[in-house]
A and B are shown apart, each in its own frame.
Chain A
């Protein structure tokens, strides 16, 4: 449920490192908490973000959740499929449900993120 090759945040975003770039999405836990996603608000390509800055938001019928950028960087691509089929996030959160691709500014920031095992432990803590 939580792929080993990804980094995770406490706000339930994941990050996949691809060279100097990062693909960002929300975790399976997050999509389950939200339920059926009906709308995704994503940033403009070219926007620069600080780590923890609001990157966009996802909406279900009765809730809105802000998404925060796990690291600092520039938005170089957004998942335009989500405009028509936001439920890709529910169906395939780590694949077709990705949100944005960032050009990473400082790779050291990755050290602030959790690995899969840590994240799972963190989730266990939340459930109690």
Chain B
């Protein structure tokens, strides 16, 4: 089955019009010695029911669904309202290309414009782009952008930034003349002030930090911004749980110059890691250094409002090697889902959902730390994730929990020496009181 609507008769007539005897002749430009003599060694063809069955069988090998999971750390399990799947599945949203012909792409363009507006409202910044690949590449793009704006080669990155994001920053900056310096964290789980002050110098372009950070702790962005700005550096903030913005002050109002992050929480399934949704917002004066597509408002020949992709001279298809980034696509369909999600929840819904997450996490934190030997690791305030310290190595405890059907949290020892006894635990609206209580009971049993 090749989804080909050309009949044998069509083929013959088309070859006649072209003036060749066979399809084979159309490939005459490919030298004989590199042409395949046989069919490729591939499985198939499979019929539709066979394809479905194939994937269902693989699905049965995934046992994850049988477990109660408290995993987060950059990918969050939130409830997705039915309208999100229903509306985003429309072929008119799924099957168009990038809106290069704006007259027949007003749907996609207006969605992007609304998405940009929502991101600005949430982050408290002036402008936002049409999206980036994910939170990790967004963080890398943010430090590159800051170095273009400021010109300094020193980039300060918080050590409590998501480890995978840090790895991507290293990969992206390795071949450029830039220096990445990691800033330590303190007992509260926040960026260490003394460490930050010591690392700042006149060559510093940016301080990139995450809030809530990888330990779930909310940073004091206002004072971080003041310190960075006092050294003429920018403050870039990564948000990997954007639901927190339903409750927490917008980073732009606290001094952030760039806010970037991961918006998977807004209506995207966990999907084993992708596709997710990177976003980026910044102050107006930096717009020309912003990577990625941007939609803007204009008028048509009759004076009616319409939307187009704009400021595209920043981009690779025009500026080639001098472009702000090599990014070409955005995550348009993921941004559509986020837009539908946010507009469905709305102003009250988002606030309330954020509050529910916060309350459930607070309940779980209290419940779990009442178990003998379990301590809260960091003193800083948290949103829906927190780090607990256990009397033994988390890997061992985690395995015992797994045997009892629970994925208790992410191990921190792999990325943070000295935190081998610690785990990052995430609670969302999907965790009922019953599930949290069950987790606490089993944990107590395991630790006994």
Q: What residues of chain A have their CB less than 8 Å away from a CB belonging to chain B? A: 38-39, 59-64
Contacts and interface: CB of A to CB of B under 8 A. Distances in A.
Q: Could you say which of A38, A59, A63 has the most chain B C-beta atoms within 10 Å of its C-beta?
A: A59
Given A59-B313, A62-B313, A63-B313, 7 more contacts: A38-B313, A39-B313, A60-B313, A61-B312, A61-B313, A62-B312, A63-B318
Contacts of A60: 313
Interface of B: 288, 312-313, 318-319, 322
A51 B385 CA distance: 59
16 contacts: A38-B313, A39-B288, A39-B313, A59-B313, A60-B313, A61-B312, A61-B313, A62-B312, A62-B313, A62-B318, A63-B313, A63-B318, A64-B313, A64-B318, A64-B319, A64-B322
Contacts of A64: 313, 318-319, 322
Contacts, number: 16
Main secondary structure of the interface of A (DSSP, over half): strand
Contacts of B312: 61-62
Nearest to A38: B313
The 8 A-B pairs at the shortest CB distance, nearest first, are namely A59-B313, A64-B313, A64-B319, A64-B318, A62-B318, A63-B318, A62-B312, A63-B313
A45 B307 CA distance: 37
A82 B319 CA distance: 21
A59 B313 CA distance: 7
Contacts of A38: 313
A60 B322 CA distance: 16
B310 to A, nearest CB: 8
Contacts of B288: 39
A55 to B, nearest CB: 15
Nearest to B323: A64
A64 B313 CA distance: 6
B142 to A, nearest CB: 22
A62 B313 CA distance: 6
Contacts of B313: 38-39, 59-64
B320 to A, nearest CB: 9
Nearest to B310: A61
A60 B288 CA distance: 14
A16 to B, nearest CB: 28
A62 B319 CA distance: 9
A4 B420 CA distance: 79
A42 B304 CA distance: 34
A38 B310 CA distance: 11
Nearest to B317: A62
Contacts of B322: 64
The residue in B313, B318, B319 that gathers the most chain A C-beta atoms within 10 A of its C-beta is B313
A14 B293 CA distance: 35
A98 to B, nearest CB: 22
A60 B312 CA distance: 10
A63 B322 CA distance: 12
A64 B319 CA distance: 7
A59 B288 CA distance: 12
A119 to B, nearest CB: 27
B109 to A, nearest CB: 16
A61 B318 CA distance: 10
A62 B322 CA distance: 14
Nearest to A62: B318
B317 to A, nearest CB: 9
Contacts of A39: 288, 313
Contacts of A62: 312-313, 318
B322 to A, nearest CB: 8
A64 to B, nearest CB: 5
A36 to B, nearest CB: 12
Nearest to B288: A39
Nearest to A64: B313
Nearest to A66: B322
A21 B288 CA distance: 31
A23 to B, nearest CB: 26
Contacts of B318: 62-64
A68 to B, nearest CB: 15
Contacts of B319: 64
A45 B108 CA distance: 43
Contacts of A59: 313
Contacts of A63: 313, 318
A61 B312 CA distance: 7
A38 B312 CA distance: 11
Contacts of A61: 312-313
